[in-house]
């Protein structure tokens, strides 16, 4: 059989292999073109690991100093865009950095860097370090979004609009109350994110390939240098675990689910049939055929990308669910979806913040969409306050609705005599029920749509932002 290529010389794993890889297998196997995103984390982890090996006398002070010097030069090459990837040789970021280190300081010293370490614990460390930084950035984006929600809710608290169930007009609410429904969802997402960060920030470095480190390396010192909160205490778990990736995607999928619902409401509210809001030109596009169109593409993309985010999570869970312990190459499939997931969620939060910061509220259209039949429950509540059982008042109010439909009149245009014809317990003050501002102010219990209740909700969002 013809040789498919040169022996696996230069590979971190090449010692026992004499034959070359199929060129397609080389491309299929390598991850350098996406895991290079971890270049700085890989170098940070290598310096911390080398320092621990210097303390263990595996490296001399001179050897450690050279490794640290060389790795900082490699880091600068990446930062300056001057690092040259060698296709077919640099199969991943670890190989690339170590290969370049050897070129700078010599292979004899560079070859000692990996003592007692495996790419299994190395990649897990790189991913956790990278993800920790990314989750800090996502938290900032989410906090910014929640600040806009709470700020607009406070500023625009006077606006009253229809509230909906089943996409049917139900009861009057404040526009701020609608915003704070999603504020509540996103505040919960913020709390969940902070919990996820704690589990991401655990150190696997020093676990080796799976069985641990044979040189009694000080893992606590490594974790402290790298800013981890603690250690993964089982070496097999350290290299096998990708729960931190799955959990991040579960968190991101839930956030994007909320984002999708938020976007759907605004898409509806921006339509000509509603005209409750108007999107800024910066977050809209036109039609190639119909010049009058202004399409809410930003919101539609947010809605669409929620499916993409969920797909990342579901796909990775299917990749992981059947693999045996500990490290298996399947786990490489956790990297690309993680990179795209984090970018998708981060971009979406920034777009959502931009949309909400710049949209215009058409409060007059909101008021025009309010109709007296939405006060049917208020009419029932009126009789409740007269001592009538609610089940009875509900039926009575329904009769008033039916009468208004029969007479083709809005409920508030029925005469007092007509109302008394339905129920003699109606008194002349019943006409005061037909007041939308009064209706929203009556719902003053915690969580309601009165001004005081909405202000309490704003305060709750602000507490969540402060981590309380």
Residues identified as active-site: 166, 287
Asked if residue 123 has a cis previous peptide bond (ω within 30° of 0), the answer is no
The number of angstroms, rounded, from the C-alpha of 217 to the middle of its chain's C-alpha atoms is 36
Closest CA to 52 of 207, 216, 208, 214: 216
The secondary structure of residue 83, as a DSSP letter, is: -
Counting DSSP H helices and E strands in the chain, the numbers are: 19, 6
CA dist., res. 343 & res. 69, Å (int):
32
The number of angstroms, rounded, from the C-alpha of 199 to the middle of its chain's C-alpha atoms is 16
CA dist., res. 342 & res. 313, Å (int):
11
CA dist., res. 463 & res. 451, Å (int):
19
| CA quadruple 280, 284, 288, 293: dihedral, nearest 10 | -60
Neighbours of 23 (CB within 10 A): 11
Cβ-count burial 60-75 (b if 16+ within 10 Å, e if not): eeebbebbbebbeebb
The secondary structure of residue 427, as a DSSP letter, is: -
Beta strands 230-231 and 202-203, pairing class? parallel
> For residues 40 and 75, is the Cβ–Cβ distance under 8 A?
yes
CA dist., res. 239 & res. 4, Å (int):
32
Neighbours of 134 (CB within 10 A): 20
Question: Which residues are within 8 A (CB) of 150 and not within 5 positions of it... i.e. 6 or more apart?
Answer: 180, 183, 458, 461, 462, 465
Q: Which two tokens mark 357?
A: 């910061």
CA dist., res. 39 & res. 448, Å (int):
50
The number of angstroms, rounded, from the C-alpha of 126 to the middle of its chain's C-alpha atoms is 21
């Amino acid at each position: 059989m013809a040789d498919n290529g040169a022996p696996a010389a230069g590979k971190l794993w090449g010692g026992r292999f004499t034959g070359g890889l199929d060129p397609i297998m080389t491309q299929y196997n390598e991850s350098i073109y996406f895991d290079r995103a971890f270049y700085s984390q890989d170098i940070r982890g290598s310096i911390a690991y080398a320092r621990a090996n210097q303390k263990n006398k595996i490296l001399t002070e001179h050897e450690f100093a050279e490794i640290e010097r060389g790795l900082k030069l490699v880091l600068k090459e990446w930062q300056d865009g001057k690092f040259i990837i060698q296709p077919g040789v640099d199969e991943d970021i670890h190989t690339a950095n170590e290969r370049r280190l050897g070129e700078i300081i010599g292979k004899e010293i560079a070859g000692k860097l990996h003592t007692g370490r495996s790419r299994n614990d190395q990649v897990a460390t790189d991913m956790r370090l990278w993800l920790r930084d990314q989750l800090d950035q996502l938290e900032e984006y989410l906090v910014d979004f929640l600040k806009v929600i709470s700020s607009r809710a406070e500023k625009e608290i006077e606006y009253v609009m229809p509230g909906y169930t089943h996409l049917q007009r139900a009861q009057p609410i404040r526009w701020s109350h609608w915003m704070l429904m999603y504020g509540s969802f996103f505040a919960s997402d913020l709390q969940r994110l902070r919990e996820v960060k704690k589990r991401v920030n655990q150190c696997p470095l020093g676990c080796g390939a799976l069985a641990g480190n044979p040189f009694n390396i000080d893992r606590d010192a490594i974790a402290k240098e790298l800013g981890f909160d603690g250690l993964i205490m089982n070496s097999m778990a350290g290299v096998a675990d990708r729960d931190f990736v799955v959990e991040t995607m579960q968190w991101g999928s839930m956030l994007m689910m909320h984002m999708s619902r938020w976007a759907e409401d605004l898409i509806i509210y921006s339509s000509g049939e509603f005209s409750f809001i108007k999107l800024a030109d910066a977050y809209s596009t036109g039609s190639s055929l119909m010049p009058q169109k202004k399409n809410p593409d930003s919101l539609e993309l947010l809605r669409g990308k929620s499916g993409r985010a969920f797909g990342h999570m579901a796909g990775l869970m299917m990749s992981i669910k059947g693999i045996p312990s500990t490290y298996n190459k399947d786990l490489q499939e956790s990297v690309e979806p993680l990179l795209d997931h984090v970018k998708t969620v981060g971009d979406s939060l920034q777009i959502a913040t931009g949309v909400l910061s710049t949209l215009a509220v058409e409060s007059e259209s909101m008021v025009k969409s309010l109709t007296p039949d939405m006060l049917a429950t208020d009419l029932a509540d009126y009789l409740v306050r007269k001592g009538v059982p609610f089940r009875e008042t509900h039926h009575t109010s329904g009769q008033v609705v039916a009468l208004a439909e029969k007479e083709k009149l809005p409920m508030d245009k029925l005469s007092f005599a007509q109302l008394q014809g339905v129920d003699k317990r109606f008194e002349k003050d019943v006409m005061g029920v037909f007041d939308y501002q009064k209706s929203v102010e009556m719902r003053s219990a915690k969580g309601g749509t009165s001004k005081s209740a909405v202000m309490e909700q704003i305060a709750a969002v602000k507490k969540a932002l402060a981590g309380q």
